[in-house]
């Protein structure tokens, strides 16, 4: 066997060992019952280590993150990973956002009790639940029918005051406009004008903007009369905002 072939064989063996090691680790993580008390401890640890330690200091946001059971917004197979600080798949090519990003966007929204807030991209319903812990007027739009049905049923049981609609969120939800706050959980390639039009004067929108991939920016948009002011928050990666 040549030296080159030996090197290739060693690389293959190492790769196989790594793959089986990762698979064994994933299989070793238990499927937990959704009422398992360990989830509460995991949630508190997540907030302390992944949210507060990274600079989130809004009391209402922190309490909402401590309260909402993220594990109930993912599949049973994903429950053991529910309090990892990373996105998780929810089907249809969509994800439930990383907890830190959820907290950051909610804090930047400057949401107050009594505010009327519109969410574009219901997804699993987790962000809707965080908003509902802070204000009673939450409206959410989801374009994908299967996700809409699942989120609507889940929110009806847990947060019945949240109104959810199955339509194209690019155009907002004009029926209930105007909104004090708008939060967008998928990335268009520009800031949609209909969403700006549905903000009250002085209203705030938090939205990721950019092409699919690693060139997206999270923006804070403040409506000032007929003008808007934008503040750059950070670089982000979101699924694209569907506009069909």
pLDDT digits (tens), the chain, 244 positions: 565 444 444 444 444 433 344 334 434 444 445 556 799 999 999 999 999 999 999 999 999 999 999 999 999 999 999 999 999 999 999 999 999 999 999 999 999 999 999 999 999 999 999 999 999 999 999 999 999 999 999 999 999 999 999 999 999 999 999 999 999 999 999 999 999 999 999 999 999 999 987 789 999 999 999 999 999 999 999 999 998 7
**Alpha helix stretches (DSSP H) within 29-98:** 38-46, 59-67
Domain for residue 197, yes or no? yes
- Whether the Cβ atoms of residue 180 and residue 116 lie closer than 8 Å to each other: yes
Give the model's pLDDT for residue 3.
53
Same domain? For 124 and 5 the reply is no
Same domain? For 136 and 21 the reply is no
Please report, for the domain that includes residue 225, its CATH number: 3.40.50.150
Domain for residue 213, yes or no? yes
Same domain? For 90 and 25 the reply is no
Same domain? For 140 and 228 the reply is yes
Same domain? For 4 and 124 the reply is no
Give the model's pLDDT for residue 15.
44
Same domain? For 101 and 210 the reply is yes
Same domain? For 100 and 8 the reply is no
Active site residue 97: yes
Domain for residue 164, yes or no? yes
**Alpha helix stretches (DSSP H) within the chain:** 3-28, 38-46, 59-67, 99-109, 126-132, 145-158, 193-197
Q: Which domain holds residue 19?
A: 1-30
Domain for residue 68, yes or no? no
Same domain? For 111 and 221 the reply is yes
CA atoms within 13 A on the CB side of 92: 16
Q: Tell me how crowded residue 54 is: count the other CB atoms within 10 A of its CB.
A: 11
How many domains would you assign to the chain?
A: 2
Active-site choice (15, 28, 53, 97): 97
Give the model's pLDDT for residue 18.
38
Distance, in Å, from the CA atom of 132 to the CA atom of 91, rounded to the nearest integer, reads 23
Same domain? For 10 and 108 the reply is no
Give the model's pLDDT for residue 13.
47
Give the model's pLDDT for residue 11.
42
Give the model's pLDDT for residue 34.
53
Same domain? For 101 and 183 the reply is yes
């Amino acid at each position: 066997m040549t030296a080159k072939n030996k090197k290739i064989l060693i690389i293959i063996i190492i790769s196989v060992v790594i793959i089986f090691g990762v698979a064994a680790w994933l299989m070793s993580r238990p499927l937990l019952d959704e009422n398992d008390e360990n989830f509460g401890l995991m949630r508190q640890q997540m907030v302390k280590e992944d949210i507060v330690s990274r600079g989130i200091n809004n009391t209402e946001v922190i309490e909402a993150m401590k309260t909402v059971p993220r594990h109930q917004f993912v599949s049973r197979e994903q429950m053991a990973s529910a309090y990892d600080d990373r996105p998780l798949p929810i089907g249809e090519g969509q994800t439930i956002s990383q907890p830190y990003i959820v907290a950051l966007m909610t804090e930047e929204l400057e949401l107050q009790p009594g505010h009327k807030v519109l969410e574009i991209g219901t997804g699993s319903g987790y962000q809707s639940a965080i908003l509902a812990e802070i204000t009673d007027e939450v409206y959410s739009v989801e374009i994908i029918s299967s996700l809409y049905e699942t989120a609507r049923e889940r929110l009806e049981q847990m947060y019945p005051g949240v109104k959810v609609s199955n339509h194209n969120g690019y155009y907002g939800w004009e029926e209930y406009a105007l909104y004090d706050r708008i939060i967008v959980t998928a990335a268009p390639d520009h800031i949609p004008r209909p969403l700006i039009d549905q903000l009250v004067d002085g209203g705030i929108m938090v939205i990721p903007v950019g092409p699919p991939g690693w060139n997206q920016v999270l923006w804070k948009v403040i409506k000032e009369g007929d003008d808007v002011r934008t503040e750059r928050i950070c670089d982000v990666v979101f699924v694209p905002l569907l506009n069909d």
